Structure 1
Amino acid sequence: MEIDRRALFAGALAASVIRTIPAGAATPPPRPFHETGEVIDLWPGTPPGAPSPLPVEIATERSANSAQPDRVIAGIARPRITAFRPKYPNGAALLVIPGGGYREESFDKGGIQVAQWLTEHGYTAFVLTYRLPGEGWQDRSNTPLADAQRAMRLIRAKAAAYGIAPERVAVMGSSAGGHLCADLASRFAFPAYAPVDAADRLSARPFCAAPLYPVVSMDRAIAHAGSREKLLGPNPTPALEAAHSVDRNVTPESPPHFIVHAEDDATVPVENSLRLRAALRKAGVSVDLHLFAEGGHGFNLWNIAGKPVAAWPGLWLDWASRVGLG
């Protein structure tokens, strides 16, 4: 499926916006999690490049509050998307990609909570549960991208069933999920897997992308060490580092970006987002970068009340409307 570039950029800013925000705005109230959603397997049968034996999925609960679960999952042999429908759909959708250092995935905090917030604003949301690169899959470094590409294509293939416009499918991801989000936005046309059905004739290019406090570079100087090792292995070559450093793969075909980072992030240095912004600007791609004085790492919508990062959800909603998604 070809996406009309003029429609994509309608309403987008010609130049990037970069803001450092010193004070918080009103934060969304806490929302309970719900075990809802329609599960769609990404692959017919066993996913490509499967190890033997297959990983065994394990969920670990990190929260002591049963009303606010915080599960992380690993051992993923059944990659899938979980769909959440809004009461009043606006015709747009997002693929939501949780983080977890490519070691595990923050299913509730980085996935379900974000998806439910999006549905409250009319977006259909699909939470991606993707294969982890350090669990024996062939072509480990491209395995997460293969799942993200396949997810985008399946969402578009099922657009009519979900009442969404196939061209208005965006992506949002956090931390290592932010790396996968931005990687998809740059390498959407990379052949990460062999086509398996008619859905694979559709484009995997997102309408727009929102990497939140993302891992971007595999440069040892600023990379998140855990994500780098899990994605690339223990001794990557310079060529492998370059192939998976998002800032080195941006092209003029990359979609508009909305980037959020806290300057006090002690896990993923803010330089990652600065490099991504610079690469997007050089390629002539519209980008809004929002830097916050406080917020740390892994905030999503979780415990942001009273912090500068509490402004990001409203900023994203405004931006999404401006670029023509919402």
Structure 2
Amino acid sequence: MTIDRRSFVGASLLAGLTIARGEGRAQTAPPHAPGALPPGLPQPAETIDLWPSGAPGMPTPPPVETVAERAQDPLVTDRAVRGIARPRLVVFRPDRPNGGAVLLTPGGGYKHVVVDKEGYEMARWLAARGFTAFVLFYRLPGEGWAQRADVPLADAQRAMRVIRQRARAFAIVPERVGTMGFSAGGHVCADLAARFATRVYAPLDAADALSARPVCAAPIYPVVSMDPAIAHVGSRALLLGPAPSPQSEAAHSPDRTVPADAPPHFLLHAEDDAIVPVDNTLRLRAALKGRSIAVETHLFTHGGHGFGLRKALGKPVEAWPELWRAWARTCGLG
């Protein structure tokens, strides 16, 4: 991936005053559920609001953010957040930055965004290995937003640009920002990798002069196709509404929108996934191969859906994070 250095430097200079003002403004806290947190598990405190003047297309009344704790074990958290009116990045900084960054888009079927299993746990893993991790809490399309089907993509595009705008503050090389997403967040990830140049919101500031193209993309057990034959029913309904047209289904199926300059992809799925059929990943792989885009694919016999890190333990699929890390080095991210 290449980013025009003059454009990056110019946008950074123009953004200097904006960044200074933004960093001085209170940011929205990370999602938090009532009750005590497990001891010894570091919780993030640093956030970046994506839309300082409010997210575009705000419904009336605005969504009210709520966080539910779903775990039964007091030593484990499994939070889910909905009603995200202030989309934001939650930042995990490594002790020794390696110059790479990963935008994480957790799943939740577009009805909520999971906090821990596909967000903070993966972010801690990445930060421990030198990557700066940004967990994106994106807007949910079924909560009344204008242009509902493009709302998650708009947040993902804006997040990539804001990360690059602030690259120096995080010791990040702006060309070395990848993305990883899980389940419905895998759809956000794949959609970003396919439609990074599609205009889905009006430019706001100097950050929007920067590219939203990730250097590499890793959709993990992703929702991909909106074809009713293999689509995840809940994600499709919440993203597109109750009666989408064939044109809408095609426009929001990343396997049907892959451009010639899409980034390299790492694909991972368990063949016994009973929630999101493995055909979603197979269709995306075929589309990428058809465009001669580099793609590495790992299919595991067992793993089910939503294994992340914690549910992969003790199974062959637990090797997947290190497989991703080895592949990321080939893309210049590691």
Could you say whether these structures have the same fold, taking a TM-score greater than 0.5 normalized by the shorter chain as the test?
Answer: yes
Q: Separation in 2 of the partners of 1:54 and 1:153? A: 25
Moved over 6 A (4+): none
Hey, what does 2:214 align to over in structure 1? 206
Q: In structure 1, which of residues 237, 257, 263 is the aligned counterpart of residue 265 of structure 2?
A: 257
Tell me which amino acid in the other structure corresponds to 1:304: A
Query: Cα distance, 1:2 vs. partner?
Result: 5.1
By relative contact order (CA 8 Å, sep 6+), the higher-ranking structure is 1
Tell me which amino acid in the other structure corresponds to 1:257: H
Mapping for residues 1-326 of structure 1, pairs under 5 Å: 3=3, 33-326=41-334
Deviations along 1:81-126, one digit per CA (max 9) or x if unpaired, are: 0111011110000000000011101111110000000001110000
Tell me which amino acid in the other structure corresponds to 1:169: V
Q: Separation in 1 of the partners of 2:189 and 2:132? A: 17
* Secondary structure in 2 matching 1:210: strand
Deviations along 1:43-91, one digit per CA (max 9) or x if unpaired, are: 0122100001000001010112233210000011010001110111100
Hey, what does 2:31 align to over in structure 1? none
Deviations along 1:28-47, one digit per CA (max 9) or x if unpaired, are: xxx96421241000001221
TM-score by length of 1: 0.90
Q: Separation in 2 of the partners of 1:120 and 1:43? A: 29
Q: Does the CA-based 8 Å contact 2:185-2:222 persist in structure 1?
A: yes
Q: Separation in 2 of the partners of 1:108 and 1:294? A: 22
Tell me which amino acid in the other structure corresponds to 2:113: E
Deviations along 1:119-156, one digit per CA (max 9) or x if unpaired, are: 01110000000000000000000000000000000000
Q: Does the CA-based 8 Å contact 1:33-1:68 persist in structure 2?
A: no
Structure 2 gaps of 5+ residues are 5-38
Q: Does the CA-based 8 Å contact 1:171-1:208 persist in structure 2?
A: yes
TM-score by length of 2: 0.88
Q: Separation in 2 of the partners of 1:220 and 1:303? A: 28
Q: Does the CA-based 8 Å contact 2:215-2:331 persist in structure 1?
A: no
Hey, what does 1:15 align to over in structure 2? none
For these two proteins, the number of residue pairs brought into alignment is 300
Q: Does the CA-based 8 Å contact 2:48-2:88 persist in structure 1?
A: yes
Hey, what does 2:21 align to over in structure 1? none
Q: Separation in 2 of the partners of 1:65 and 1:151? A: 33
Q: Does the CA-based 8 Å contact 1:81-1:127 persist in structure 2?
A: yes
Structure 1 gaps of 5+ residues are 5-30
Q: Separation in 1 of the partners of 2:60 and 2:269? A: 39
Q: Alignment RMSD, CA only?
A: 1.3
Deviations along 1:247-282, one digit per CA (max 9) or x if unpaired, are: 000012100000100000000000000000000000
Q: Separation in 1 of the partners of 2:74 and 2:125? A: 19
Query: Cα distance, 1:225 vs. partner?
Result: 0.3
Q: Separation in 1 of the partners of 2:41 and 2:202? A: 36
Q: Separation in 1 of the partners of 2:212 and 2:135? A: 16
Q: Separation in 1 of the partners of 2:41 and 2:78? A: 10
